[in-house]
Amino acid sequence: MPHVSAGSFSARAKRAITAIPFGRVATYGQIAACAGNHRAARQVAWLLHAASEKEALPWHRVIGGRGSISLPRGGGFEEQRALLQGEGVRVDEAGRIELARYLCNLRPDAPGGEAAL
């Protein structure tokens, strides 16, 4: 069983999100696993929706498990794509990101889901 740091799922997920380095991405599922529940990817999406602005979370670095932006066009897609591109992440017109190149290796067994590159 992986080590999970103290605090609520939300607090652990927020720590994992803030651990994603500039120019890298993580998936909703990775964040959920780091927070202690690998099946809670949707909960991570809701958390980002509710808290990313007021807590200055780097929400744009969290993407879908298949390696693409999950937000719809006209509903955040363009902003997320522009923010990622501003960090040097290559995002194609469909919102796909090359996971082999840009995926951050978050460690669910590390306190707070720290990043390991």
In this predicted model, what pLDDT tens digit does every residue of 9-54 receive, in sequence order? Answer: 999 999 999 999 999 999 999 999 999 999 999 999 999 999 999 9
Is 60 exposed, middle or buried (CB count within 10 Å of its CB: 0-12, 13-18, 19+)? buried
pLDDT (tens digit, 9 = 90+) per residue, 42-82? Answer: 999 999 999 999 999 999 999 999 999 999 999 999 999 99
CA distances from 75 to 4, 29, 81, 87 (A): 33, 21, 12, 21
8 A C-beta contact, residue 49 and residue 55? no
pLDDT value at residue 6? 62
* pTM (2 d.p.): 0.88
